[in-house]
Amino acid sequence: MSGFEDFWAIYGNVVLTLGTNSLLALSIWLTLACGMLAMANAAFMGIGAYAAALLTMNYEASFPVALAGGMVAPALVAALIGLPTLRLSGVYLAMATLGFGEVVRVTILNTESLTGGALGLNGIPQLTQWWHVVLAVVLVLLVLWRVRRSKVGRAFDAIRGDETAAGLMGIDVRSTKMLAFVAGAAIAGLAGALNAHLTFFIGPGEYGFDRGVEILTMAILGGIGGLAGPVIGACILTVLPEALRGFSDFRLVVNGLILVLIVLFLPQGIWDPARFSRWLRKGGRRHA
Amino acid sequence: MLELTSLSKNFGGLHVLHDVGLSVPEGAIFGLIGPNGAGKTTVFNLITGLLAPTSGGIAFQGQDLLRRRPNEITRLGIARTFQNIRLFKEMTLLENVVVGAYRHMDYGYASLLLGLPRYREHEARARERAHELLGWMKLDHKANDLADNLSYGEQRRLELARALATEPRLLLLDEPVAGMNTGERAELMREILAIRERGYTILMIEHDMQFVMGLCERIAVLNFGRIIACGGPQEIRANEQVIEAYLGREDDEQAEQAQ
Amino acid sequence: MLEQQFVNALSLGCVYALFALGFTLIFGVLGVINLAHGAVFMVGAYAALVVVANLGLPLWAALVAAMLVAGLLGAVIDRLVLKPLRRRNAPHLIPMIATIGVAIVLNNAAQAFFGAGNLRFPFGTVPEGVLTVAGLHVTVIELGIILLSFALMAVLMIVMRRTQFGRALRAIAESPKAAWLLGINVERLFLTTSFAAAALGGVAGVLIGLYANALYPLMGQPMLHKGIAVVILGGMGDIRGAMLGGLFLGFAEVLSVAYVGSTMRDAVAFGLLFLILLVRPQGLFGKVVQRKA
């Protein structure tokens, strides 16, 4: 038992970060499933983190309330900017959402009285337990799994396949995209809220471009063909820096290199159900 | 059933359609023909809400279709296929057709999250119906293949099955037999007649004269954005303006090539 | 006071314009959002530094070195990363993600080699001194930046408008396949464009290094964000747009710092970006038409 406690003492944070990273990767999966490259989830994570932290620190809210606040706040913002932004497509959507992320960061920097500005918020109560994170991941996975198997999931696939044709099938493309965007924001906010009460300090620099890129990488690395993909991507990207600690300066170089190699050689990501079924079919034919 | 009144469409200075009017009675197979570039697909795009007319009106079963979004128009009972085939290539045939049944899957979030009976029923029914429609198109044996793997003719039939899955009253078919061989065309002709027998109304754009003359009871001819003739197959075949529209074009092309 | 800011804004705007030009060239011709452009910019700056500080060569040699090194890097990135993805017909956001990986590699390699702290060009690299031009005080650095930038931009405009090479590039920007069918060696031109765009980025890096008197491994990142804003502002793939957009951003930033405060500085670029995207996504000069295959 003491072996486990030692392990947890050293790696507990990594495991919990793995959980919150999984949530982040799943949040961007939702928008990618609709064919949208929206890179605002780091900003939504930040909004959720600050909202939840402020609730517990300034208003002595209970943890569940803080978490709820951490989900509702980014969802509201997403609903607000979603309407004009989701009209854009492809590159322009990616850029607009990236830009939005920076706007959020600068807003945080300039509202010192509320957010502590560049110095960030310190002393957030460390309320996150391992089971909070596990519960959150399991619940989100369950919900997304069921959504995938329903008409909503099918609508996502249709929109990703051909937006115009999807609209002509009776699918309300605008609302469905909004749903993915807002839900993704809520999940990212939840990750932020959990993370804030884990690390007890948050600052505006954590929710910028780099974090946005990291979230995207996790999803693309793992593959968006199935729900396991984002989780696998999150695991790899969380564990890799730890595993590469020995490389010190070069470990981030290796990170970048891995990203390039995956894009070049495993375009659908690591978890690619289509590739697996091709392998299985080829295997079957050989035996026949 | 479908009334187009004085429909016009301009793109900036380009007048694509001018004062187009036609009336499709219920249960009819109606053809819309004309030389390339006459504006036929634009008419479809206007009806299905992908474009807004510059002036004029469109009414379906008495309801005004203007200023409605495509998914609303589909819900009113109009479905369409595309000239350049817009299938969901990464999905199987069955999944493609099931997407068509979207608006009939009437269950809420509680149902889908908890797997309640209502969700299971609607999903099962949609799949059954999809198999049925694939059967009409003689594609059922390939239900679980990827749509991308089909031949051109098969893809057109799949698009038709998918359109039928929306349970429309009116079907808009944009060049349904383009790229098919004679055998496939004859087959599709029979299928479309069978579909009409089942109570659907059909408006189609087609270039294959034999196909159009053989199937359509009424035909409208569009040239340079205007309706130049409207009537039964015999009338249209004999109409001088129609002949000129088609043959005149050929003369122009030959003259250009000679230069 | 306002007049002094003018020179400041103009030089800053020139550097933004040069950087954005490289970025927009790659998007216009190759169809790729090259998020490694910031890293290439940084490499140019460090290359110049090495030439001046370690090899003791004069500044003009350092500028040439920066262009060559950065240009070569750009060409290598095209060959090793972008070309295989082109051959595979990857959906167009995939190359962008690959360039993110390249940027991470380059930024962190620079950090490993040069350390994370600020480095400076050695004292005396650029003559001190202030000139008076048209009644305004202009430092030698500012004058150099403005002259060099305008010279490079003029060369680029002439090449694009008046040469066969430029015509070929514009043809590719419209439709690579059509250009290929016309006999244009598309792959070779992709390589050349990558080289040229990276070279422009490299020069911009040196100029900013001189202007701000500071080089650090992540200097490309904020530049990249601004480059994105400029290109969207001016219209993606449009050369005039990149130039005018860059100049505009330079002025907007300097004026906002002067009249509102320095914390808002970075927000200006993104605030503008966000607004433009909501109001006129194609930017000032861009076209809404999607590029054909």
Cα gap C115→C118, rounded to integer Å: 8
User: d(Cα B186, Cα C30) in Å, to the nearest integer?
Assistant: 46
**In this predicted structure, what is the pLDDT of residue C184?**
84
Helix (H, G, I), strand (E, B) or coil at B13: coil
Task: Report the chain A residue with the minimal C-alpha distance to residue C36.
Answer: A256
Residue B7: which of B29, B35, B40 has the closest Cα? B40
Q: Exposed, middle or buried by CB within 10 Å (0-12, 13-18, 19+), for B234?
A: exposed
Most confident segment among A101-105, A267-271, B132-136, C235-239: B132-136
Is the separation of the CB atoms in B91 and B99 below 8 Å?
yes
Please state, in angstroms and as integers, the Cα–Cα distance from residue A118 to each residue in A43, A201, B243, C187, following that order.
16, 12, 77, 47
Instruction: Provide the edge-to-edge strand list for the sheet that holds B55-60.
Output: B14-24, B2-11, B55-60, B63-64
3-state helix, strand, coil in chain C (%, to 5): 75, 5, 25
The pLDDT value recorded for residue C291 is 47
Residue A5 has pLDDT above 80, yes or no: no
Q: What is the rounded distance in angstroms from the CA atom of residue C203 to the CA atom of residue C214?
A: 15
Using a CB-CB cut-off of 8 Å, the residues of chain A touching C107 are: 252, 256
In whole angstroms, what is the distance from residue B119 CA to residue C206 CA?
A: 63
Ordered by start, the domain boundaries in chain C are 2-221
3-state secondary structure B106-144: CCCHHHHHHCCHHHHHHHHHHHHHHHHHHHHCCCHHHCC
d(CA A176, CA A159): 9
Q: Which residue of C has its CA nearest to A84?
A: C278
- What is the predicted pLDDT for the residue at C41? 96
Percent of chain A with pLDDT over 70: 93
Closest Cβ opposite residue B113 in set A146, A154, A162: A146
Query: Helix and strand tally (H, E) in chain A?
Result: 13, 2
Closest chain B C-alpha to A3 CA, distance in angstroms: 40
Contacts of A260 in chain C (CB under 8 A): 81, 98, 101-102, 105
Euclidean distance between CA atoms A96 and C229, whole angstroms:
9
Q: Which of A85, A88, A255 sits opposite C104 (nearest CB)?
A: A255
Fill in the DSSP letter of residue A205.
G
Separation CA C178–CA C171 (nearest Å) = 8
Contacts of A160 (CB under 8 A, 6+ apart): A33, A34, A35
Return the minimum-mean-pLDDT range out of A24-38, A85-99, B105-119, C33-47: A85-99
User: A220–C232: do the CB atoms touch at under 8 Å?
Assistant: no
Is A168's CB within 8 Å of B74's CB?
yes
Enter the ipTM: 0.83
Range A230-255 average pLDDT: 77
Confidence of residue A183 (pLDDT cuts 50, 70, 90): very high
Note the pLDDT tens digit of each residue in A123-161: 788 877 788 899 999 999 999 999 998 889 999 999 988
Q: Nearest residue on chain B to A175, judged by CA atoms?
A: B71
Q: How far apart are the CA of C133 and the nearest CA of chain A, in angstroms?
A: 37
Where do the domains of chain B lie, and which CATH numbers do they carry? 1-77+168-259 (3.40.50.300), 88-165 (no CATH)
**Cα angle A139-A144-A149, degrees, rounded to a multiple of 5:** 130
CB atoms within 10 A of CB C191: 19
Residue that is written with structure tokens 């569009």 in the block: B222
Q: What are the DSSP calls for C70-96, one per residue? A: HHHHHHHHIIIIIHHHHHTT--TTHHH
Which residues, 6 or more positions from C269, have their beta carbon under 8 angstroms from its beta carbon? A102, C225, C226, C229, C230, C249, C252, C253
Which chains lie within 8 Å of chain B at 3 or more CB pairs, if any? Answer: A
Looking at the DSSP bridge assignments, the partners of residue B221 are B33, B229
Residue of chain B whose alpha carbon sits nearest to that of A165: B86
Residues of chain C with a CB closer than 8 angstroms to some CB in chain A = 33, 81, 84-85, 88, 90, 92-98, 100-109, 111-112, 221, 225, 228-229, 232, 236, 263-264, 266-267, 269-271, 273-274, 277-278, 281
Question: In this complex, do A170 and B75 lie within 8 Å of one another by their Cβ atoms?
Answer: yes
Query: Which pLDDT belongs to residue A285?
Result: 43
pLDDT score, position C120: 87
Helix (H) or strand (E) holding B231: strand B226-231
Tell me the shortest Cα–Cα distance from A266 to chain C, in angstroms: 11
Profile chain C (293 residues) by mean pLDDT over runs of 10 residues. 80 94 90 92 94 86 94 95 84 80 90 87 79 80 90 91 87 84 88 95 93 90 86 80 90 82 71 74 61 44
Closest residue to C225, CB basis, from A102, A259, A261: A102
CB A191 within 8 A of CB A179: no
Say whether A154 and B102 touch across the interface (CB within 8 A): yes
User: Measuring CA to CA, which residue among A287, A286, A54 is closest to residue A189?
Assistant: A54
- Nearest CB among B88, B102, B113 relative to A143 is that of B113
Identify which of A146, A154, A171 has the shortest CB distance to residue B71.
Answer: A171
Looking up tokens 């006459």 gives: B38
Give yes or no for a contact between B181 and B153, defined as CB atoms under 8 angstroms apart.
yes
| Alpha helices, DSSP H, located in A59-89 | 63-85
CB contact under 8 A, A165 and B87: yes
The pairing of beta strand B170-174 with beta strand B78-80: parallel
Segment B138-166 mean pLDDT? 89
Distances (CA, A) of B44 to A221, B9, B56, B86: 42, 12, 14, 15
pLDDT tier at B249, thresholds 50, 70, 90:
low
Contact of C26 with C189, CB cutoff 8 Å: no
B41 in contact with A, Cβ within 8 Å: no
**Cα angle value C248/A213/A187 (rounded, 5°):** 115
Provide the residue ranges of all domains of chain A, joining segments of one domain with +.
2-287
Chain pair A-C, CB pairs under 8 angstroms: 115
Whether there are 3 or more C-beta pairs closer than 8 Å between A and B is yes
The pLDDT value recorded for residue C1 is 57
Q: How far is A119 from chain C (nearest CA, A)?
A: 14
| CA-based nearest residue to A40, from A93, A90, A80 | A93
3-state secondary structure (DSSP) of residue C119: strand
| CB-CB contact of C274 with C60 (8 Å) | no
Question: A-contacting residues of B 97-126, CB under 8 Å?
Answer: 98-100, 102-103, 105, 107, 112-113, 115, 119, 123
Identity of the residue in A100, A103, A260 whose CB atom sits nearest the CB atom of C101: A260
Q: Do A95 and C101 touch (CB under 8 A)?
A: no
- Whole-prediction pTM: 0.84
Paired tokens of B115:
């797997």
Q: How far is CA B137 from CA A165, B90, B170, B184, B214, in A?
A: 20, 20, 18, 11, 20
Per-residue pLDDT tens digits for B45-93: 999 998 889 989 999 998 899 888 888 999 899 999 998 888 998 888 9
Do the chains contact at C98 and A263, CB–CB below 8 Å?
yes
Go through A4-22 and write b for each residue having 16 or more CB atoms within 10 A of its CB, e for each that does not: eeeeeeeeeeeebbbbbbb
Q: State the pLDDT confidence band at B113, using cuts at 50, 70 and 90.
A: confident
The pLDDT value given to residue C18: 94
User: At a CB cut-off of 8 Å and minimum separation 6, what does B135 contact?
Assistant: none
Q: How far is CA B72 from CA A174, B203, C27, in A?
A: 12, 19, 37
Cα A209 from Cα C273, distance rounded (Å): 15
Q: What are phi and psi of C55, to 5 degrees?
A: -100, -10
CB of A259 less than 8 A from some CB of C: yes
Q: Which residues pair with B2 in a beta bridge?
A: B24, B60
